[in-house]
Amino acid sequence: MQRTAFLNGHLVAFEHARVPITDRGFTFGDGVYEVTAVVDGKLVDNFAHLRRLSRSLAELHISNPYSDKEWTGFQRDLIAANGLNQGVIYLQVTRGAAERDFAIPSPTLSPTTVMFTQVKDIMGSPYARDGVRAVTMPEFRWQRRDIKTISLTAAVMAKRLAAEAGAQEVLYIEDGLLTEGGSSNVFIVSADGTLVTRSVSNALLGGITRHAVLEIANSQQLNVDERAFGLEEVRCAREAFMTSASTFVVPVISVDGHLIADGIPGPITREIQTRYIELARLGGCLT
Ligand code: PDD
């Protein structure tokens, strides 16, 4: 099957999806993105992703060129065109193309919109089964981590450092407290069995999967605490896991080479992982 992409309102052959070199996404990283999971050919939690897209765009004063209904229609067409069963759909909106200048051009540019799909065995991945190793590093990104910007140089650097240390994810530490993972939100099960994750602020991305996991935890009557926590608490945790749309719920089995509990994914993580997959198959969270 020929690979198809989406560019500015049209489905086009992947190799014909091209943008001008003066696109501000290319020259400034001036744009935002979303990654939505696809399970059984259906979008997972897409409404929440589109809501966050609108918010990110509004924060950058970029207009959203399409309504949620239009975006969803395009996404479904793209999934069908690529015959995607399980994987992700990547969506990007940049401010548009203009002669390079930091000042935002006036009149407003026409945003560039791009989407493509990627095949991925999210639920059957060895990391989902066996867990990942994480390493910590000082938080060195900007102060608006709540915006899902395409400027991801810091994340690329951090992931390289993690890989060099034999790990799959990085945990950022700021003022002695964990903010989030390189491309995930982080949860721990504390010594007293409480599920803990940092509350949402400008310090981290308000993850859509994170939100769904909190809904699951509430429905399971788990004790939940949304608060900041430090490295020592992670090291002493009974369990730890990370969440993202492209990986769902993945156990974290060690941090900086120190095993979490016995280094085996824990029962609460497994339960939440199973429940999340059930929810994803139903299209995600309703709230
Ligand atoms: N990243 N924090 C960061 C920095 C992220 O990049 C992501 C997701 C998350 C989790 O958010 P969500 O549950 O909405 O996916 C948290 C995506 C998957 C990516 O960049 O590929």
From the list 31, 166, 175, 165, the residue with the least C-alpha distance to 90 is 31
| Protein residue with its CA nearest to atom 19 in ligand 1 | 183
pLDDT grade for 134, boundaries at 50, 70 and 90: very high
Read off the pLDDT of residues 250-262 as tens digits, 9 standing for 90 and up: 999 999 999 999 9
196-212 CB burial, b ≥16 within 10 A, e <16? bbbeeeebbbbbbbbbb
What average pLDDT does range 207-227 have in this prediction?
A: 97
Q: Which residue from 244, 246, 285 has its CB within 8 A of the most atoms of ligand 1, so it is best to mutate?
A: 244
CA distance 17 to 81: 15
What average pLDDT does range 121-130 have in this prediction?
A: 97
> What pLDDT is recorded for position 121?
97
CA distance 21 to 44: 33
Read off the pLDDT of residues 30-55 as tens digits, 9 standing for 90 and up: 999 999 999 999 999 999 999 999 99
Residues 6+ apart with CB under 8 A from 232: none
- pLDDT over 70 at 156, yes or no: yes
Read off the pLDDT of residues 186-195 as tens digits, 9 standing for 90 and up: 999 999 999 9
CA of 257 to the centre of ligand 1 (A): 24
> What pLDDT is recorded for position 64?
97
CA atoms lying within 13 Å on the CB side of residue 97: 9
Contact 191, 237 (CB under 8 A): yes
- Domains and their CATH numbers in the chain: 4-119 (3.30.470.10), 126-280 (3.20.10.10)
> What pLDDT is recorded for position 182?
98
What average pLDDT does range 78-99 have in this prediction?
A: 98
Contact 117, 84 (CB under 8 A): yes
CA of 64 to the centre of ligand 1 (A): 20
From the list 175, 221, 226, the residue with the least C-alpha distance to 201 is 226
- Torsion-angle region of 81 (φ positive above 0: left; ψ -120 to 50: alpha; else: beta): alpha
Q: Which residues are catalytic?
A: 148
CA distance 33 to 22: 19
**Average pLDDT of every residue of the chain:** 97
Q: Would you say how long the chain is, in residues?
A: 287
Contact 173, 231 (CB under 8 A): yes
| Protein residue with its CA nearest to atom 11 in ligand 1 | 207
pLDDT grade for 285, boundaries at 50, 70 and 90: confident
